[in-house]
Amino acid sequence: MRDMKSFENVVKSDFSTQQSKQNNKALITTIMSELLKQDKVKLLTIIRNLNAKYEYAHLAQYMMTEILPRF
């Protein structure tokens, strides 16, 4: 019952704040840069695994377009 009330409060709340695609791309680029500095092999393994799942393949493809020019 409590979960249902929490859900109703969320539904009633204002969802007008929209995420900017430009901000999201900048964030992904920053994260990718840091991960490339840490461990390139592990990052490529993560991208490969994401690409194997249909629901994450688009993200994996975008990540590859971000990192390939840096090699």
Helix crossing, 40-51 with 21-38: angle to 10°? 130
Q: What is the pLDDT of residue 34?
A: 86
Q: Are 67 and 43 in contact (CB under 8 A)?
A: yes
pLDDT in tens, 7-21: 677 667 665 555 566
Least confident range from 29-33, 39-43, 48-52: namely: 29-33
pLDDT tier at 49 (50, 70, 90 boundaries)? very high
Q: What pTM does this model have?
A: 0.60
Rounded-to-5 percentages of helix, strand, coil across the chain: 80, 0, 20
Higher pLDDT, 52 or 15: 52
- Residue whose token pair is 């994401």: 50
